[in-house]
Amino acid sequence: MSTENALLTILVEKIQSDSLVLPTLPEIAIKIREAADDPDVNLLAMADVIAFDPALSARMVKVANSAFMGRSVKVETLNQAVTRIGLRQIKNIATAIAMEQLFVSRNELVKDYMTKTWQKTVNVACVSMAVMQCWLKENKHSSINIDTLTLVALVHTIGVLPILTEAERHEEVFANPSFLEAAIKRMAGKLGGAIMRSWEFTGEFIEVAENWNDLTYQTEKVSYLDFVRVGAIYNKILGKNADTNEMLKPYVEKGVIPDLKFFNSEEFTKNLSDVKSVFS
């Protein structure tokens, strides 16, 4: 049996027996989410939780000062940053930023693959968020919100991690990227859903992680899944060799984007630049 087939067999067996080791939510993200769910928490207490992670604290100040937040007066402290971002947004934004901690490895081949995967994920998230900013102007009363999308978009590829972790034991697999891509395409969705369930995330996270790259799965109403898919199509992650405009037409019909010229508009270009400032 070839190494590739052996790895595929191992993955399938471990998934079926529920013995594949799934990544755990970063500890700081768990603490932040627990604090945010406490009805008695205030901004000062939330800042104290975030302060346990100096790197995350610095990133939150940077987010508060980003063009995405739309403020010109610079904040200098974590307390000021948390106040500007607000309790409603802090839970998902802080968790999203902490996600980057999972895409690391001591193995150079795996590290390189994880770095590229994370960058693609960020690119999809940026486009998704920029599109939603425009959409929300016409749909102000929607229950869909951009801080949830931020996290949904940044965890949509989470199912890749256990596959790469398992493949790490077989370095020769990385000499065959086409096999690795096939394994990811076949199993990442199912694993992504399993991870979201193990983290006790809600339905929209599971739905996106499981189905974002399965175009036969569609939602009746505009959903987080649509924005992630538009981001993936824009970045040629979905439909690499397909006509991008043809792939985007259903999202014009659904009202996610106004027309096919939208991505050349000044509004989208500015939104995308502002969103990128969060992750730079």
| Model confidence pLDDT, tens digit, residues 179-190 | 788 888 888 998
Q: What is the pLDDT of residues 132-180, one digit of tens each?
A: 999 999 998 899 998 899 999 999 999 999 888 888 877 777 777 777 8
Cα–Cα dist 192/214, whole Å: 13
Residues 6+ apart with CB under 8 A from 203: none
What average pLDDT is seen over the chain?
A: 88
Quote the CA–CA distance of 158 and 195 in Å, as a whole number: 8
Q: How far apart are CA 24 and CA 34, in angstroms?
A: 15
Q: What is the mean pLDDT of residues 21-32?
A: 88
> Structural domains in the chain?
3-22+102-279 (1.10.3210.10)
Residue 273's pLDDT band, with cuts at 50, 70 and 90, is: very high
Half-sphere exposure at residue 251, Cβ-oriented, CA atoms within 13 angstroms:
28
C-alpha closest to that of 43 among 68, 60, 59: 60
pLDDT digits (tens, 9 = 90+) for 188-213: 998 999 999 999 998 999 999 999 99
